[in-house]
Chains A and B, each alone.
Chain A
């Protein structure tokens, strides 16, 4: 009951207090119209694109996931969980969870959704051979069993009050039991798949049997245009209606051309992690010195052109209700940095700095840092390495390297995956038992104000102790043609948390002329 009420209470927030950046062209209220074909271009695409929800790892994958599948839980614009395929979600101890499924839900092949499908869909993440992106989180589910055709019981290995948010991760979408071949997606989502060619295109058509609110669009075509300029050109020439990942440098031009921009304050950040278990990071002075050397304002200004929020070396973004705004903001202080670096003994040395196009803007941030360092006599050698293989070959291996972290649906997940002592993705190898115990408490507490206090403390610990430097949180920028309506900013990710297709509608009367 507890969790369910949590969900209910939060859902009140839906639709309120949204960010309104770039919403000018949307201001005219008009009744949504059904029908039409929307052509969308994402920024990444490759032959490794997949329709297996467990393996989805890139933006276009997530979009397809939201088109064809549903999870038990969905997350809204502010990352609040709502019921989707689940009708009720109950736990008394945050350890054992009872899930009651929505009735009369059909897969695209006409079969009905049952508890077996849910059990299959969640359990498969625990098989390493599936290659699930959420292998680690799935392992926290000690047992998943069907109690009845509409009831599933999940037992966790430790209490976790944020478990509903975990179920909202799109990788945990529900597929038909027994599915091994994902060439044709068989989900419960609002669209059916008409065509899918990895790396080239996906065409989705409206699912007339959809259980929820029917989408307005008749069909959606999704392609990937990795080349920035080409993506913008495609929008401006009218070849596509909506694009993701707009370069801040083109916002001005797009606006002049009458195109709409959606600026979403997603919690994505590109961080510089200094490994605390290796030579440089062993010196706290060095770590602190680098943190003072990062010119966050300049990165915001020169790299992101203002489309970002300054970070404070902790992973909770300012728009989160748990953001610790009392933590003093660290700012650029070359004198202090010089003093600290000198004390660390590394001032004369050339520090290697590994960056890659794989980690968004990391090359530019590295250059900004390198220049600032050169001004105080600290030499840095920027090693830009290829994007391919970066995450396994360089990330978390170099003494100073960049990472790129996507937002998690709950602070506990962010802390758990990135900063807990036992996490395999603890980028700076920061081990702090106090932090770990705070995290345990936070996950099991029922009291929201205590939870907030715990999160505040944890933010302070991370900011001062971890080797992770977070200069900025990026804003996601999407651009759309004037006839595209219904787009809203979302904290869940670009293109309304990858879920635009359920809300967008086309006003053919508008903006045909540019």
Chain B
């Protein structure tokens, strides 16, 4: 435990670096494409790569590369935001469960169990049906879906850390609960929590991809990677890059971050 905390700084650099790379691609990528992702010309649909369209065109004859960069932007940013939401709320609740009165832990524990028992697609479907497909609704929904998991991780971590002697000493010194949470417990959870953030980010990418199956995703003409795969699914019959490339990008995104996490946490 202690060793894990101590080694966090150097080891998680790689994960952070990878996340920063994807974030940069998300923010700057669309600027690199000369094509308006919404532009519909007179090109044929599902055309093969050409000089004008490096990755061909999609089911409406739009430029696949432009759509792809747009899709990366939304998938990465949405998933990043929802992961942040779930991890911060989960961490907060997890620490609260450990530091507050016992009924808080009982209550949050039951809530987490309850949420986990509802299939995530069903939950997303219900919430989106109520609030409609907006970016905020998506972030909140996915955030809520992954909060119980983050809560479990953080509660387990906080429980272990709260038992360590340096926390005992701080309490004996008479430090306030906020100080203990913010200065003693939280900084030591960051390492393992980053691993958790990475995993949850991947789950979010996958969930978002599958949500597109139910027609839930960002508003057109914007697109996320999953919806892009979904809307170009028919291109499979023609081997269209419009369908294949986003699948590959999802794979590279998730597997890459996962491997970086694995190597950084020593795969324990």
Instruction: Say if the beta carbon of B233 comes within 8 Å of chain A.
Output: yes
Question: How distant is the Cα of A383 from the Cα of B38 in the complex, in angstroms?
Answer: 15
Determine whether the beta carbon of B61 is less than 8 Å from that of A302: yes
Instruction: Say if the beta carbon of B236 comes within 8 Å of chain A.
Output: yes
Determine whether the beta carbon of B236 is less than 8 Å from that of A249: no
Chain A residues with Cβ below 8 Å from B128 are: 386
Determine whether the beta carbon of B215 is less than 8 Å from that of A250: no
Given A249-B234, A253-B238, A302-B60: A366 touches B45 (CB 8 Å cut-off): no
Q: Which of A247, A253, A371, A386 contacts B39 (CB 8 A)?
A: A371
Secondary structure at chain B's binding surface: helix, strand, loop or mixed? loop
Given A298-B40, A386-B128: A303 touches B60 (CB 8 Å cut-off): yes
Instruction: Say if the beta carbon of A128 comes within 8 Å of chain B.
Output: no
Chain B residues with Cβ below 8 Å from A371 are: 36, 38-40, 221
Question: How distant is the Cα of A381 from the Cα of B129 in the complex, in angstroms?
Answer: 19
Distance (Å) between the CB of A224 and the closest chain B CB?
17
Residue of B at shortest CB range from A295? Answer: B40
Q: Can you name 18 extra interface pairs (CB under 8 A) apart from A249-B59, A250-B234, A250-B237? A: A228-B233, A229-B234, A298-B40, A364-B60, A367-B38, A367-B60, A367-B220, A370-B221, A371-B36, A371-B40, A371-B221, A382-B220, A382-B221, A383-B132, A384-B220, A385-B132, A386-B129, A389-B129
Using a CB-CB cutoff of 8 Å, which residues 362-378 of chain A contact chain B?
A: 363-364, 366-368, 370-371, 374
Question: How distant is the Cα of A432 from the Cα of B40 in the complex, in angstroms?
Answer: 37
Given A250-B237, A367-B40: A384 touches B59 (CB 8 Å cut-off): no
Instruction: Say if the beta carbon of B151 comes within 8 Å of chain A.
Output: no
Instruction: Say if the beta carbon of A200 comes within 8 Å of chain B.
Output: no
Determine whether the beta carbon of A367 is less than 8 Å from that of B221: yes
Distance (Å) between the CB of A480 and the closest chain B CB?
18
Determine whether the beta carbon of A385 is less than 8 Å from that of B133: yes
Instruction: Say if the beta carbon of A301 comes within 8 Å of chain B.
Output: yes
Question: How distant is the Cα of A387 from the Cα of B129 in the complex, in angstroms?
Answer: 9
Using a CB-CB cutoff of 8 Å, which residues 301-338 of chain A contact chain B?
A: 301-303, 305
Query: Can you offer 10 A-B residue contacts whose CB atoms are under 8 A?
Result: A249-B46, A250-B234, A366-B220, A367-B220, A368-B60, A374-B36, A385-B133, A386-B132, A386-B215, A386-B216
Question: How distant is the Cα of A387 from the Cα of B216 in the complex, in angstroms?
Answer: 10
| Interface flags, A42-71, vs B, CB<8A=1, else 0 | 000000000000000000000000000000
Residue of A at shortest CB range from B234? Answer: A249
Determine whether the beta carbon of A374 is less than 8 Å from that of B238: no
Chain B interface residue bracket vs A: 20 to 34
Determine whether the beta carbon of B215 is less than 8 Å from that of A357: yes
List the 3 closest pairs (A to B, CB-CB), nearest first: A249-B234, A371-B38, A253-B237
Residue of A at shortest CB range from B232? Answer: A249
| Interface flags, B228-257, vs A, CB<8A=1, else 0 | 000001111110000000000000000000
Instruction: Say if the beta carbon of B219 comes within 8 Å of chain A.
Output: yes
Instruction: Say if the beta carbon of B42 comes within 8 Å of chain A.
Output: yes
Question: How distant is the Cα of A362 from the Cα of B246 in the complex, in angstroms?
Answer: 24
Instruction: Say if the beta carbon of A447 comes within 8 Å of chain B.
Output: no
Using a CB-CB cutoff of 8 Å, which residues 125-152 of chain B contact chain A?
A: 128-129, 132-133
Q: Which of A374, A385, A387 contacts B38 (CB 8 A)?
A: A374
Distance (Å) between the CB of B163 and the closest chain A CB?
48
Chain A residues with Cβ below 8 Å from B46 are: 249
Residue of A at shortest CB range from B236? Answer: A229
Determine whether the beta carbon of B42 is less than 8 Å from that of A384: no
Question: How distant is the Cα of A370 from the Cα of B219 in the complex, in angstroms?
Answer: 12
Determine whether the beta carbon of B60 is less than 8 Å from that of A384: no
Given A249-B46, A249-B59, A374-B38: A387 touches B215 (CB 8 Å cut-off): yes
Distance (Å) between the CB of A87 and the closest chain B CB?
48
Question: How distant is the Cα of A367 from the Cα of B40 in the complex, in angstroms?
Answer: 9
Determine whether the beta carbon of A247 is less than 8 Å from that of B234: yes
Given A384-B220, A386-B128: A302 touches B234 (CB 8 Å cut-off): no
Using a CB-CB cutoff of 8 Å, which residues 201-252 of chain A contact chain B?
A: 228-229, 232, 247, 249-250
Question: How distant is the Cα of A382 from the Cα of B39 in the complex, in angstroms?
Answer: 15
Residue of B at shortest CB range from A299? Answer: B40
Question: How distant is the Cα of A249 from the Cα of B235 in the complex, in angstroms?
Answer: 8
Instruction: Say if the beta carbon of A388 comes within 8 Å of chain B.
Output: yes
Chain A residues with Cβ below 8 Å from B238 are: 253
Using a CB-CB cutoff of 8 Å, which residues 187-241 of chain B contact chain A?
A: 215-216, 219-221, 233-238
Question: How distant is the Cα of A138 from the Cα of B67 in the complex, in angstroms?
Answer: 49
Chain B residues with Cβ below 8 Å from A383 are: 132, 219
Question: How distant is the Cα of A229 from the Cα of B235 in the complex, in angstroms?
Answer: 10
Of listed B38, B46, B220, residue having the most chain A CB within 10 A: B220
Chain B residues with Cβ below 8 Å from A364 are: 60
Question: How distant is the Cα of A371 from the Cα of B38 in the complex, in angstroms?
Answer: 6
Using a CB-CB cutoff of 8 Å, which residues 29-59 of chain B contact chain A?
A: 36, 38-40, 42, 45-46, 59
Chain B residues with Cβ below 8 Å from A366 are: 220
Distance (Å) between the CB of B109 and the closest chain A CB?
33
| Interface flags, A339-382, vs B, CB<8A=1, else 0 | 00000000000000000010000011011101100100000011
Determine whether the beta carbon of B129 is less than 8 Å from that of A388: yes
Chain B residues with Cβ below 8 Å from A367 are: 38, 40, 60, 220-221
Distance (Å) between the CB of A424 and the closest chain B CB?
25
Question: How distant is the Cα of A249 from the Cα of B58 in the complex, in angstroms?
Answer: 11
Of listed A229, A357, A370, A371, residue having the most chain B CB within 10 A: A371
Determine whether the beta carbon of A301 is less than 8 Å from that of B234: no
Determine whether the beta carbon of A302 is less than 8 Å from that of B133: no
Distance (Å) between the CB of B204 and the closest chain A CB?
21
Using a CB-CB cutoff of 8 Å, which residues 452-501 of chain A contact chain B?
A: none
Distance (Å) between the CB of A243 and the closest chain B CB?
14
Determine whether the beta carbon of A384 is less than 8 Å from that of B221: no
Chain B residues with Cβ below 8 Å from A388 are: 129
Chain B residues with Cβ below 8 Å from A247 are: 234
Determine whether the beta carbon of B220 is less than 8 Å from that of A386: no
Question: How distant is the Cα of A371 from the Cα of B219 in the complex, in angstroms?
Answer: 14
Question: How distant is the Cα of A366 from the Cα of B60 in the complex, in angstroms?
Answer: 12
Residue of B at shortest CB range from A387? Answer: B215
Given A302-B40, A374-B38: A249 touches B60 (CB 8 Å cut-off): no
Q: Which of A298, A305, A385 contacts B45 (CB 8 A)?
A: A305
Using a CB-CB cutoff of 8 Å, which residues 383-436 of chain A contact chain B?
A: 383-389
